[in-house]
Chain A
Amino acid sequence: MEPLRVLVADDEAGMRHSIARALRHFTLRLPVVDDDIGFQVEAVESGEAALERIAAAPPDILLLDHKMGGITGIDVLEQLRDKSLDMLVIMITAFATIETAVRATKCGAFDFIAKPFTPEELKETLRKTASHLLAQRQARMLAEEKRRVRFDFIRVLGHELKAPLGAIENFLYLIRAHQAGPDVAAYDEFVDRCMARAEGMRKLIADLLDLTRIESGQKQRDLAEVHLGDIAQTSVEGMQPAAAQHNISVHLEREGTLLLTGDRGELEIILNNLISNAIKYNRDGGTVHVRLKGESDRILIEVADTGIGLAPEDAARLFHDFVRIKNSATRHVLGSGLGLSIVKKIAQLYDGTVGVESRPGEGSTFRVALPRQHAAT
C-alpha cells in the first residue's frame, strides 16, 4: 500500500532530521493490512507552517512539537479540533508533565512522546498510532459498505412495493371512471387483479419481516428436537389448494430418520418457500416431489418440479435478494424475490447448504442439506 504520510512540526532542525532518518527505511506489518506499511516524512519548522501544510494536504500522522517559536503545539491542536480530519496526532513534549499530556489529549492528540527519545521509542509510538489509524479506517469502510448494501436493499424494496400499488391505483381509477361501461364482469376482473397484487404486497412484507428477523439475529430461536417429516406433511397439505388450481399433484417421500435439532418456524419457512415455488413455476398438470432423506449426520431436503426450469447463468444468482428470473414463462408469476434468499439464509443458520439443478423446459430440483446438529446447538 501507499506509505503513510507523516508531517513533523518541530523548530529544532536536529529533531526534524533525526526523525526523518529514523523512519526512512522503517516498515511495519500490521494484522489489519496485508502489506508492508512504509512512512513518507515531510517536515516544517513552525505551528503556522504545519497548519498551512495540513490545510493543503492533511497527512496521516502529525508529529507535533509543543514548544515552538510562534504558536504552540496545543494552539495547533485547538485549531484542528473542529476540522474532523482523518489524521492522528502525536505530541512531542520536552517535559513530559502530566499537565501537558492531559491538555494535549483533551485537545485531540492520540499519543505523546517525551524528548529525548530513541529511534526505537519513536517507531513503537508510530506502530501503535498507525495500527489505530488503519483499524479506524477499516471500520469506517465496513460501516460504509454496510450502509450501501442496506440502501440498495431499501431502494429495490421501494420499487417492488410501488409497482403493485401503482397497478391497484390504476384499476381503482378505471373502476371509478366506469371505464368498462356496463360490463360488470370486467369490473370483477379488475377487483380480482387488485386483490392478487395486494396479496403480493402482503407476501413481500411477510418475507421482509422473516428476512429481517433472521438477519438481525434478535429473535430467540426456539431450538428443539423436531421431526422434519411432520413439518413437510403440514406444508404439503397447506399448499394443496394452490396446487389444485393448476392441477398439480404434490408427493411427499420420506426415508430414514428425520429428526433434527431446529426451530420449527424456520424449517416451515424453508419447506413452504420451496414447495410454493415448485407449484408456481410448474406447468398445469405437473408434479412436485418432496423427498426427505435422513442420512447419518444430516437430512437432505429435495423438492423437484416439472416446470419451466432455469438457464445455468440464472441458477447462479437465484439465491440473492430480489432476484427474479424474468422471461415470458415467469412474467405472470407473482413473487417477492426474497423467498430463496430467505431459504439460503436459514440454511446458513444451520451450517447447511442450498443448491439447484435444472434443465430449461423440464424442471428444477432444489436441494437443502441440514446437519442434525449445528453450531448454535
Chain B
Amino acid sequence: MAHNILLVDDDVDYLTAMRLQLESAGYHVTAVESVAAAQEAIKEQVPDAAIVDLMIDEPDDGFSMCHFLKKNHPSMPVILVTAVTSETGLDFDASTKEERAWIKADVVLAKPVRFEQLERELSRLGVEA
C-alpha cells in the first residue's frame, strides 16, 4: 500500500507542486496550509512521514510542529524544509547527532527543494513510494 505523506507549507503553490510530484511518484499525500489543519489531519490518520516548512503561521512554527510530531510519534520520519539559510544567522542542518537533538527532524532541506533530493531522502528514511 502507498505510504501516506503529510505535507505542511503555507505557500499554496509550493504545496500544489510538491503534492503533484509526490503523487506521481506513487505516494499518497495530505497537503495542508496551517498548523491547525496539520493537527486535524494527524487526528484523522497518522501519516507514515511528514514534510514540514519552517515558517508556517509564525516564523518558527516548523520547529514546534517537528517537536510535536517526534514527541507523539517517535518513529515517524520528519523532514524540515526551509528557505531560511546562512544569511539569517540561523545556519543549521541536521547532519550531526547534536544538531538533531534540538531540531526534531531527521533531515533539514533548503528551499527550493529538488524533487529528486526529496525522494532520495524519503527512501533513505525507509519511506518508499
- Residues on A facing B (Cβ under 8 Å): 155, 158-159, 162-163, 165-167, 169-171, 173-174, 179-180, 193, 197, 326-328, 331-332
Contact = CB atoms under 8 A, between A and B. Distances in A.
B87 A171 contact: no
Contacts of A162: 83, 111-112
24 contacts: A155-B87, A158-B87, A159-B84, A159-B88, A162-B83, A163-B11, A163-B83, A166-B11, A166-B14, A166-B111, A167-B14, A170-B13, A170-B14, A170-B17, A171-B17, A173-B21, A174-B17, A174-B20, A179-B24, A180-B20, A193-B16, A197-B13, A326-B10, A332-B12
Interface of B: 10-14, 16-18, 20-21, 24, 33-34, 57, 83-84, 87-88, 111-112, 115
Contacts of B87: 155, 158
Contacts of A169: 112
A332 B34 CA distance: 12
B34 to A, nearest CB: 7
The A interface, classified by DSSP as helix, strand, loop or mixed, is: helix
Nearest to A181: B24
A69 B33 CA distance: 77
Contacts of B83: 159, 162-163, 166
A327 B20 CA distance: 24
A124 B110 CA distance: 60
B101 to A, nearest CB: 26
A331 B10 contact: yes
B32 to A, nearest CB: 11
Contacts of A197: 13
